[in-house]
Amino acid sequence: MSDRPGTDRPILIAPSVLPADFSRLGDAVEALDEAGVDRIQWDVMDGRFVPNLTFGPDVIASCRDRTELLFEAHLMVEDPDPLLHTWVDAGCGLVIVHAETCRHLHRTLGRIKDLGAGAAVALNPSTPPEVVEHVLDLCDMVLVMTVNPGFGGQRYIDTMEPKVATIRRWIIDRGHDCDIEVDGGISPDTVRGPVGAGANVVISGSSMFKDPAGLGHAVDELRRLAEAARA
């Protein structure tokens, strides 16, 4: 086991489809696959937990057969429990709930795993890492938000890096099989910090879609810089 935090876990590049043309999401999914991403994140927003609305399970299901890549549902929704099965039925292999929306987080994570999907928990910037300390054994991934959720194109919050390092240390010291994902303001300029702190899954939306050299270049550049952050 390497002594560098998280370096035993592969770097995974995962786009958010939030910046994509919503009238052609299936084409965006195929283009992201061709660009070499490792999985695709769907930012689900309900207009209550965050001041924005996006898409439901039927939209995700309509894109399922356009790629073999893993779909992860990032549920920025109040009270996610009643609809957990709909995201799995739509073809999501990983379901991310926000700790701030789960009255019984341990039970919710267990229910996601009972549905046959990977279970993950997201933490808003103001939420301390201790909130997940006692459920890491149920987590396939922890998402450390590096912006306040609800919108793409926001500025990266670098004060989240110690939170990443704390969670990675717990994972290593206690032998958990758990990825750490960062999401929000991730670009070639900001990716080295969180990966150096121990994150291994990188979400990028606006930076990736705005790359003038195209999605393939954006993916390759992020991967190269993330790997270099571990050297």
Nearer to ligand DX5, 15 or 91 (CB): 15
Q: Is 183 a catalytic residue?
A: yes
Q: What residue type is assigned to position 198 of the chain?
A: G
Q: How far is the CB of 187 from ligand DX5 (least distance, A)?
A: 7
Among 43, 46, 140, 211, the one annotated catalytic: 43
CA-to-CA dists, residue 91 to 31, 48, 129, angstroms:
19, 24, 29
Among 33, 183, 189, 220, the one annotated catalytic: 183
CA-to-CA dists, residue 126 to 2, 100, 148, angstroms:
30, 10, 9
If we measure between CA atoms, which residue out of 145, 1, 5 comes closest to residue 75? 145
Nearer to ligand DX5, 44 or 172 (CB): 44
Measured CA to CA, the distance from residue 109 to residue 231 in angstroms comes to 34
In degrees to the nearest 10, what's the CA dihedral of 48, 201, 42, 93?
-110
- Write out the residues near ligand DX5 by the rule CB under 6 A: 16, 18, 43, 74, 76, 147, 149-154, 183-186, 203-207
Nearer to ligand DX5, 111 or 156 (CB): 156
Nearer to ligand DX5, 165 or 186 (CB): 186
Q: How far is the CB of 186 from ligand DX5 (least distance, A)?
A: 6
Q: How far is the CB of 147 from ligand DX5 (least distance, A)?
A: 5
Q: How far is the CB of 25 from ligand DX5 (least distance, A)?
A: 15
Measured CA to CA, the distance from residue 188 to residue 82 in angstroms comes to 38
Catalytic residues: 43, 183
